[in-house]
Structure 1
Amino acid sequence: MTLAQLQRLYGASTASTTLISPSLSLSWYLQPQFAAYVQWRRSGRAPTSSERYGLWRSGIYRCNCIVVGDAGLKAETSNTFDIGVKGSPAPGVRLNGSVFYTQYKNFIGVTRYPRDRYPGMFANAPAHLVTIFKAGNRDKARIYGLELGTRLEHGTWTPALKGLYSSLAFGYSKGESRSSYEGDKYVPLDTVQPAKLIAGIGYDAPGKTWGVNLLGTFARGKQAQSTNRDSYRNTGSGLTESTVEFIRVPGFGRLDLWAYWQITPALRLDAGVQNLANKSHWLYSNARSYDASSAADWRRFQLAAQPGRSFNISLTATF
């Protein structure tokens, strides 16, 4: 497209976005080292220059479609509410926990517009174009859940166990989104991770001259849910439900063993054995979008498995 065509398509004005991200936190101490809190945060993301003014064509003269930005895009925004506790409720105990809720709106997505249904959008476009894919504030979403973490120093209560500690961390969240398309509904967000529990037990020698830690990671299985939002043809009918079924990513339990040796104040040796039991497992974030009806995707899914038992060692010198 020529510069004149681009100016007709986007207009001559220059858009700008001002984002204000306030927050408010109220805390009260239940004990001198242990506090409860309530918090609110507002965040946002301004549209990028490509989302506002980007242009993409597959071929210069032969393509009959175009992907364009929208100079009038609004910023994506979110409001997060947290209620939790943090600190040390008793000697030898560290505790952090919260429940949260986040509301998102004006998520930016790309919508298909055919010329025969939206002729007004093609008034300033070249005559050979029949489809415009345009960025827009299309989706909204919400995510909520809880997080909990604690560490216990066992030597606080039993001097003979000084240096022995245990830790526990748990996270659970659920999210869902919907678009502005007619007929759409809230569908679980595929990017939200499944529940995970991490538990560990370890020992640090006096002066932390050496130490060892056994860590167990346990993740729940999850199956992502597909939508037709990104393939919606926008020809007048409502959005239909997707018939694609993704492969369910199974849950797993994995053990990792770590050790360190502080050889000198400036020299430290670290070594570890990951996936101690040599169990096959998959990370949901890496394997959530494989089609269960596709033999090729099943092969790709198998290739996406995490490594079996592995070893690593490193030597760090501090100057």
Structure 2
Amino acid sequence: MSPKLGAVWRFAPGWSLFGGYARGFRAPPYNDVNIGFTNVQFGYTAIANPDLRPETSDGLEAGLRYGSRVLFAELTGYYNRYDDFIESMAVVGFDPVRQLLVFQSRNVAEATIYGAEARAGLDLGALSGALQGWSLRGAAAWSRGDNETEDVPLDGVEPPTASLGIAFQREAWGAELAARFVGRRDRLPSASDPQPGAEPVRAFESPGYVVLDLYAHWRFAPGVRLDAGLFNLGDRKYFYAGDVPLVAADSVQLDRYTAAGRNLALSVAVEW
């Protein structure tokens, strides 16, 4: 049973308060239970965990929303408490024979994740006819996770992020230039150390970054849409926090975890 209860109070034109409670359930993901993969070049191995238990949670959410012909804005706060939290691909040790870092999904008996999110959009065309089709969009998110059982941070929680974009839209096509802002990933447990009894090794904290992306779409036939994205326009070297495992800050392999440089993606969607 996963009940959910929500409520909305529209207390003034365009303004509303909302909140809710939800009971969550998540079965162990297939890959977490069955994975078996070794990458000698990158120095790690991922092993299965057939004993993973389902994850349950209790979540609270509350927020404030405003909407009009010109502006939309929303601010939300949330708090989630988990039992048997599934921490995917956590560092669980070091294989001294093969010299490989060992990853395995595991259950954390008690964990909490809480944070806040904000988003807004401004229709510039509603302010002036000369700006018809132009709009501004922005969003920001901050979250914090704690392993209550071991009294350490959850390393899978993303650092603070934000985005800001300016878009132009016509009936058949549109484009957007967007900036992504990501903070430093600085709430980490210690990296695993291969020597039993040794001092904890300080984990690498992926630095913050700002990158620019360019998006475009074109409906060139009924039900057919072409999407294109040119990412990391400045060809910056950066680390996407979700792709960086717990590795030592002085590791010689850090460059192997960098994100892609300037890259292009194309896709076609067909609807009927």
TM bucket (normalised to shorter chain) is 0.7 to 0.9
Q: Give the whole-Å Cα distance in 2 for the aligned partners of 1:262 and 1:245.
A: 50
Residue 220 of structure 1 pairs with residue 183 of structure 2:
yes
SS of alignment partner, residue 289 of structure 1: coil
Q: Is the Cα contact below 8 Å between 1:246 and 1:288 reproduced in 2?
A: no
- Within 5 Å, which residues of 2 pair with 1:169-208? 169-179=139-149, 184=150, 186-205=151-170, 208=171
Larger radius of gyration: 1
Bigger drift between 187-196 and 149-158 goes to: 149-158
Q: Give the whole-Å Cα distance in 2 for the aligned partners of 1:263 and 1:256.
A: 23
Q: Is the Cα contact below 8 Å between 1:226 and 1:242 reproduced in 2?
A: no
Question: For the structure 1 residues 248 and 228, does the alpha-carbon distance in structure 2 shift closer, same or farther, using more than 3 Å as the test?
Answer: closer
Q: Is the Cα contact below 8 Å between 1:224 and 1:288 reproduced in 2?
A: no
Q: Give the whole-Å Cα distance in 2 for the aligned partners of 1:85 and 1:318.
A: 35
Q: Among residues 2, 19, 23, which one is paired with 1:42 in the alignment? A: 23
Q: Name the amino acid aligned to 2:167.
A: G
SS of alignment partner, residue 248 of structure 1: coil
Q: Among residues 49, 55, 58, which one is paired with 1:76 in the alignment? A: 55
Q: Give the whole-Å Cα distance in 2 for the aligned partners of 1:212 and 1:45.
A: 37
Q: Among residues 251, 254, 259, which one is paired with 1:294 in the alignment? A: 251
- Equivalent residue number for residue 219 of structure 2: 262
Instruction: Report the CA distance between 1:23 and its aligned residue.
Output: 1.8
Q: Name the amino acid aligned to 1:85.
A: L
Q: Give the whole-Å Cα distance in 1 for the aligned partners of 2:263 and 2:133.
A: 27
Q: Is the Cα contact below 8 Å between 1:171 and 1:195 reproduced in 2?
A: yes
> Higher helix proportion, which one?
1
Q: Which runs of 5+ in 2 are unaligned?
A: 35-47, 88-104
SS of alignment partner, residue 148 of structure 2: strand
Instruction: Report the CA distance between 1:85 and its aligned residue.
Output: 2.6
> Higher strand proportion, which one?
2
Q: Is the Cα contact below 8 Å between 2:219 and 2:225 reproduced in 1?
A: yes
Give the number of aligned pairs. Answer: 242
- Equivalent residue number for residue 92 of structure 1: 70
RMSD: 3.7
SS of alignment partner, residue 63 of structure 2: strand
Instruction: Report the CA distance between 1:317 and its aligned residue.
Output: 5.0
Report Cα offsets for 1:131-155 as digits up to 9, x if no partner.
xxxx997521111110111111111
Q: Give the whole-Å Cα distance in 2 for the aligned partners of 1:101 and 1:242.
A: 34
Report Cα offsets for 1:265-306 as digits up to 9, x if no partner.
3444433321111111110011141222433xxx2x202211
- Equivalent residue number for residue 155 of structure 1: 125
Question: For the structure 1 residues 308 and 108, does the alpha-carbon distance in structure 2 shift closer, same or farther, using more than 3 Å as the test?
Answer: closer
Q: Name the amino acid aligned to 1:148.
A: A
Please report the TM-score for the alignment, with normalisation by the length of structure 2: 0.75
Question: For the structure 1 residues 245 and 150, does the alpha-carbon distance in structure 2 shift closer, same or farther, using more than 3 Å as the test?
Answer: same
Report Cα offsets for 1:234-264 as digits up to 9, x if no partner.
xxxxxx9971211110111010112233333
Q: Is the Cα contact below 8 Å between 1:287 and 1:304 reproduced in 2?
A: yes
Q: Which runs of 5+ in 1 are unaligned?
A: 1-19, 55-66, 110-134, 234-239
- Within 5 Å, which residues of 2 pair with 1:24-39? 24-31=5-12, 33-39=14-20
